[in-house]
Amino acid sequence: MERYRSLNSCLRELFGEKTYKLAFDGGFTCPVRDGTKDTRGCIFCAGGSGDFAIPVGDDFGRAMEMAKSVVADKGARKFIAYFQSYTGTYAPVERLCSLYSQAISHPEVAALSIGTRPDCLGDDVLELLRELNRIKPVWIELGLQTIHPATAGYIRRGFDLAVYDEAVRQLREREITTIVHMIIGLPGETPEMIRQTAEYIGKSGVQGIKLQLLHILRGTDLEKDWLAGKFKALTLEEYIDILEQCIESLPPDMVIHRLTGDGAKRSLIAPLWSADKKTVLNAINSALERDNVTQGAKCLQCHSERSEESLSKGTLRFTQDDTSFI
């Protein structure tokens, strides 16, 4: 039994076979690094989360050949071109159009995935995404990380929750699949606060989520605060406990693209247990079985929607004292 809706099963349904994500670096920066909003970047970020991304330059075809050679032994025939590094919509729309048109028209690219920020989706960019999405599926990955304003300020995110809400509204209007990133273990957040972020994302009408463990990386300001003892990294047991609460709070049809972190091991300071991804994933899957966790089991929105559906179909019955539904 699948306890959550995984990316792999979603990809098989969509494309009929295993489809690999290839990470590319489009040569972007972001507004919290280039001085537009800040120069320091997000407090946890060691450089755009694209350590394995292939630089594209002006020639996507060449970059595609390089990226494919890395997974040549997998025998894959379909790929998702994932523009992972920095903010993938933070450039003049002409440059974005040239880059992404090349990527989406490549015969082996089944879909285009772009990592970006909710505050970097102007009307011209949104219209470009709409056009590209008519050719092949376009996925937009939004870095939200948390819904809590104090944490958002601490991590130097640089936009309010209302900006996220509006970006999601605009993307939904254009029928663009949206995946939201959140971080588990940010300083000052309780398990309940983290679960609230997952619940909010689940209710916001997006199609996918990446649940990521907070990594403390070498050279970041987060590392300084951790070394100063201002907060503790999560243990594996704590992480799994919070993760389970998040999974239960998400709608059952939302695709979970990631259950843990995926950072470069060489810059990881803590938690070191997260470096062994295979062991972590095995521990998570065993715990989901042990604790009988299923996605959506505690999704209040889903239950109320089901109740409304049942009401409209007249399938609810009164209990003996006629005071509550069963």
If one asks whether residue 86 binds ligand SF4 (CB under 6 A), the answer comes out as yes
If one asks whether residue 41 binds ligand SF4 (CB under 6 A), the answer comes out as yes
Q: Give whichever of 51 and 241 is closer to ligand SF4, judged by the CB atom.
A: 51
CA 173 – CA 236 distance, rounded (Å): 39
CA 72 – CA 66 distance, rounded (Å): 10
User: Which one among 3, 5, 33, 148 touches ligand SF4, defined by CB under 6 A?
Assistant: 33
- How many Å from the N-terminal Cα to the C-terminal Cα in the chain? 27
If one asks whether residue 100 binds ligand SF4 (CB under 6 A), the answer comes out as no
| Pairing mode, strands 138-145 and 208-213 | unpaired
With CB under 6 A as the rule, give the number of residues binding ligand SF4. Answer: 11
| Pairing mode, strands 208-213 and 255-258 | parallel
Residue 242's nearest CA partner among 146, 314, 306, 170 is: 146
User: Which one among 23, 42, 126, 138 touches ligand SF4, defined by CB under 6 A?
Assistant: 42
Minimum distance from residue 241 beta carbon to ligand SF4 (Å): 26
Q: Give whichever of 20 and 139 is closer to ligand SF4, judged by the CB atom.
A: 139
CA 3 – CA 301 distance, rounded (Å): 19
Q: Give whichever of 42 and 284 is closer to ligand SF4, judged by the CB atom.
A: 42
If one asks whether residue 164 binds ligand SF4 (CB under 6 A), the answer comes out as no
Stretch that binds ligand SF4, among 26-34, 126-134, 232-240, 301-309 (CB under 6 A): 26-34
Residue 159's nearest CA partner among 198, 129, 121 is: 121
Site of interaction with ligand SF4 (CB under 6 A) = 30, 32-33, 41-42, 45, 48, 86-87, 117, 143
